[in-house]
Amino acid sequence: MGHNITVAQRFIGYTKFDTQSSEENDCVPSTPGQMVFARHLKEELEREGLRDVVLDDKGFVYATLPANCPQGEAVPTIGFIAHYDTSPDCSGSGVNARIVKGYDGGDIPLNDLTTLSPRMFPELLSHVGEDLIVTDGNTLLGADDKAGVAEIVQAMAWLRDHPQTAHGKVRVAFTPDEETGCGAAHFDVEAFGCQWAYTMDGGEAGELEYENFNAAQAKVTIKGVSVHPGYAKGKMVNASLLAAEFCSSLPATERPENTEGYEGFYHVTGIKASTAEARLTIIIRDHDRQEFERRKQLVMDIVSQMNSRYGAGTVTAAVSDQYYNMKEIVGRQHHIIDIALQAMREAGVEPHVQPIRGGTDGSQLSFRGLPCPNIFAGGLNFHGPFEFVPVQSMEKAVEVIVRICTTAALRP
C-alpha cells in the first residue's frame, strides 16, 4: 500500500493517463482512455485497503472507508467526489509534469516558446516560495480534477494509517465526463448512500463554493440556399453570414471575456458553417434563475426575428438545461458549509466563499438529493498549458478533507 507516497507523487502519476473527454461522443465515458484510468484507480483503491470498491460500466468508481468511531452508524455518512476526465479544450496526451521547487516569483520557461509569467498570470505571486507543478507547455496539466482525485485518495490513506483519529463512514467517488456535463446524470446517488458530500474541484486554496451558474446549451441550425456565386443574385442565402448575424445579435457586453462575479453570459463555443448550412453551439449561464430564463428566451427571440427576415424554418434552435444553481439546495442545510469552514480554519486556510463561474458534478447531484458544495483542489489556469498547482495547496486540501471527516463525526 502507498504508505510513503506523497499527494504530489500520486497526482503526477495520474497525469500520465490521457483522460480527455469528448463532446462529440454520446456514450459515457465518452473516450476509452477514461475507462483505462478508472480501472487503474479501482486497483489502487483496493491496494490502499478501501472497502466496497466498485467500477461500473459507465466508468464511475465508488469506494468506502469504514467508520472507526464509537458512535458507528449514528454518525452521518459523508462523501467526497472528484472527476478524472480532463477538458476537451486542450490535449491531455503525453502530459510531462515537473515540480518547480521554491518558486522565486519570476518567469517559468515551460518550453522554448512558452513561458508561465506573473506578468500574464499575477496569481503566481501568491505562491512565491512554494513548489509548483507545471506542464511542459504542450498540454494541460490535469489538476482539474486529478488533483482532487489524488487529495481524496491521500486523505483516505492518511485516515487508514491513523486509526486513533475517529471518523464516521466515508464514501468516495470518482467520475467521468464532468467537463462535458454528461457524467453526473449517471451517478448512483442511492448506492452512494451519503447524507451529503463535497466535490474537490475548486481552484485556489481556500475556495468554498455553494453557488453556481444555472446552465443551458443552445444548438442552432441555419439552413441556407447554395447557388453558384456567378448566378446567385436574388437566390443565394449564405448560412455562414447568417451565423455571423446570429452571433452579433447576442449582447457583446455579455460574453465571458466581458463579465465577472455574478454576471451571466452567452458563449459561442463552436461554429461549423458553409453556404448551405451552419451549426452553432452556444452555452448560456446566469446565477439568477429569472435572468437565466430570460437569456434562453432571447436566443429563441433571435430565431424568430431571423425567420421573419429570411423565411420560416431558416433558423431552428434546441435549448436544453444542463444544471442549476446548487444554492437552492445547499443553502437550506448550512451545517454542511459550517463544517467545511471550520475544517479550513483549523487547517490554517483562510476560507474564500465565492460563486462558481461554472458548474461541478455537485450542481447536478444537489438537485438529485445529494447536497454537494465545492472545495478547492488547488489548481489554477485550468484547461490549457499554463495550468499549475502548488504542492502546498494540495497538502492543505488533504488536511481539510481529514478535518471534515473528524468534525462531522463530532457534531451532535
| Residue from 177, 178, 207, 387 carrying the catalytic annotation | 178
**How far apart, in whole angstroms, are the C-alpha atoms of residue 183 and residue 9?**
27
| CB 261, CB 205: distance < 8 Å | no
- List the grid coordinates of 363: 450542481
- The DSSP annotation for 40-62 comes to HHHHHHHHTT-EEEEE-TTS-EE
Q: How many other C-beta atoms lie within 10 A of the C-beta of residue 305?
A: 14
Is 178 considered catalytic here? yes
Sign of CA dihedral 302, 211, 176, 59: negative
94 contacts: CB under 8 Å, gap ≥ 6? 18, 138, 139
Sign of CA dihedral 127, 129, 133, 138: positive
Is 26 considered catalytic here? no
**How far apart, in whole angstroms, are the C-alpha atoms of residue 90 and residue 215?**
22
CA within 13 Å, CB half, 102: 0
Task: Say which DSSP state 267 is in.
Answer: E
How many whole angstroms from its chain centre is CA 175?
Answer: 11
Q: Which of 382, 57, 349, 10 is nearest to 188 (CA)?
A: 57
| CB 78, CB 404: distance < 8 Å | yes
| Residue from 44, 85, 361, 395 carrying the catalytic annotation | 85
- List the grid coordinates of 214: 444555472
Q: Which of 108, 170, 159 is nearest to 133 (CA)?
A: 108
Residues catalogued as catalytic: 85, 178
